Structure 1
């Protein structure tokens, strides 16, 4: 029996939490990571920062996380409610915790707030490029799920739109907001592509957990088109190509130490990929991670029921994340 002193949330709190679940806050972390790494990569020193930089950073974090990423998650839940009824029936809409009208209001309001945020950033920076990047992120989020585009129905278009919207747009936004030189230097364009490729690989692996529902609804995700091992090879190619671009960029710009570090991380990454390819459904890594707090922190609630292969690939691909964080933390002028 439940404890007599258990706290039962009020209807208002339950409603707020349900709306927040539609925005799926855990998914904000990836775009935020790309943005923050992009800010570090411009080479700013603390002494260079101004109050205007603080305002830009605050507004950009709101735009990238709760608004653009939150919008993409909310609108995806709305148009994928029939899929979630098969693949994830505990989501708010198929579970009946929120009405369709309220769910629709959620993503419409989020989109309007995103547009308002873009306008504020434009007023602060006086740069039309801010509006262009924000509009691109909003359009990609809409086109991924909404009828008329429905990019997610094609594995190639879907993964590409996620890579561009979730990772490349935040990186380029950071470069544009905080770089002291105009435009997008080649260094930032290259690392934006690296982040996009990593996201494409992860999305491909994440689609493993919904193969059954995707097949029933004729969604041509890469695991549906090519099977688990075929999709793995595509994901491995994307993540490894990202690593090659990253290492080449480091060497080209004179970051030899970081370049060699990238090469060193590449070796265990390939070993992990080979192990995963041989046993894609081996859940031992997932089980071992769940036994300790550090491991649980790597896996979000929304990923806890995912295909074991996705979890293993997520952990393995974090080697690239470590490399990227190391590179951008050691800003221009160090470790050349």
Structure 2
């Protein structure tokens, strides 16, 4: 096994980036590095495990489409990948158990176990089902916002809970839109793998309209955040930039297959701006205990 290939197999940069969702919601209730650290560890480990199991299921397809990936290239064997997967799941669930002990609530472990199970289910079945798979991707990435609230004790403060739900909604709708757009962009390749995307089952115009609806929901939810008066005004420039990126994605989405590549790019930019904006916006906010 080439150790240098492990981060690529884990897609560790994506997992770490996604773990910021834990900090964003967690920062509203605590700055305790012990509490937040176990949450981040659980997210990174289980998200990485999901990436590994995805590559295990996709190894035959990747031999044709992505022969440079660690498994098809032979940099990591299938047996080694399975061992890495088991270790990551053990670490993730172990970290969630610590979080459950800290808050005296089994929910962190339950959510983590469900998250791990969905990772397997997505790779084995949901991925090829198109829209259901799109929803799964959006919710799986965004669940960190809810998990961050749970591991900090589920403090019942309505404005902050609404803020967290808006974080979750913005992230989920934007990611679902991008997944649908990618289905438009990859319509020919998906036909070879028989992936039942909206673009293939209902046509590109229909898929474009559905993606546009999700983008509109993302823009509305994103723009609503300052009105809850929890997040810092520092967030507003990020909100404006994110709305512009999401609107640009919307414009190109409605152009169908010809605009799909740019639509996907702008949706990705909007997601990045949103995540950074959320983090910058919650750091100055006093914790609520």
Q: TM-score normalised to the size of structure 2?
A: 0.82
Which residue in the other structure is 2:135 paired with?
A: 160
From 31, 35, 41, the counterpart of 1:56: 35
Which residue in the other structure is 1:178 paired with?
A: 152
Query: 1:198 and 2:146 equivalent?
Result: no
The alpha-carbon deviation at position 170 of structure 1 amounts to: 0.6
How many residue pairs end up in the alignment?
284
Deviations 1:273-327 (A, max 9, x none): 32464486579xxxxxxxxxxxxxxxxxxxxxxx555324322454544553454
- In 1, the alpha carbon distance for the partners of 2:12 and 2:127 equals 21
With 179-188 and 152-161 compared, the bigger mean Cα shift is at: 179-188
With 118-127 and 259-268 compared, the bigger mean Cα shift is at: 259-268
- In 1, the alpha carbon distance for the partners of 2:4 and 2:162 equals 42
Which residue in the other structure is 1:37 paired with?
A: 24
Whether the aligned pair in 1 keeps the contact of 2:39 and 2:99 (CA below 8 Å) is yes
Whether the aligned pair in 1 keeps the contact of 2:242 and 2:270 (CA below 8 Å) is no
Whether the aligned pair in 2 keeps the contact of 1:176 and 1:183 (CA below 8 Å) is no
The alpha-carbon deviation at position 166 of structure 1 amounts to: 1.2
Query: 1:214 and 2:190 equivalent?
Result: yes
Whether the aligned pair in 2 keeps the contact of 1:43 and 1:331 (CA below 8 Å) is no
Query: 1:240 and 2:213 equivalent?
Result: no
Q: TM-score normalised to the size of structure 1?
A: 0.71
Higher helix share: 2
User: Are the structure 2 counterparts of residues 57 and 203 from structure 1 closer, same or farther at C-alpha, using a change threshold of 3 Å?
Assistant: same
- In 2, the alpha carbon distance for the partners of 1:160 and 1:315 equals 19
The alpha-carbon deviation at position 30 of structure 1 amounts to: 3.8
User: Are the structure 2 counterparts of residues 268 and 111 from structure 1 closer, same or farther at C-alpha, using a change threshold of 3 Å?
Assistant: closer
Whether the aligned pair in 1 keeps the contact of 2:232 and 2:282 (CA below 8 Å) is no
Bigger radius of gyration among the two = 1
User: Are the structure 2 counterparts of residues 258 and 245 from structure 1 closer, same or farther at C-alpha, using a change threshold of 3 Å?
Assistant: farther
Query: 1:313 and 2:264 equivalent?
Result: no
Query: 1:273 and 2:250 equivalent?
Result: yes
- In 2, the alpha carbon distance for the partners of 1:28 and 1:258 equals 26
User: Are the structure 2 counterparts of residues 196 and 273 from structure 1 closer, same or farther at C-alpha, using a change threshold of 3 Å?
Assistant: closer
The alpha-carbon deviation at position 194 of structure 1 amounts to: 2.2
> Unpaired runs of 5+ in structure 2?
none
User: Are the structure 2 counterparts of residues 223 and 322 from structure 1 closer, same or farther at C-alpha, using a change threshold of 3 Å?
Assistant: farther
Whether the aligned pair in 2 keeps the contact of 1:282 and 1:308 (CA below 8 Å) is yes
With 226-235 and 128-137 compared, the bigger mean Cα shift is at: 226-235
Deviations 1:68-106 (A, max 9, x none): 110110000000112222332211222222222222222
Q: Give the match's secondary structure for 2:2.
A: helix
Q: Give the match's secondary structure for 1:195.
A: helix
User: Are the structure 2 counterparts of residues 88 and 209 from structure 1 closer, same or farther at C-alpha, using a change threshold of 3 Å?
Assistant: farther
- In 2, the alpha carbon distance for the partners of 1:234 and 1:216 equals 23
> Unpaired runs of 5+ in structure 1?
1-13, 284-306
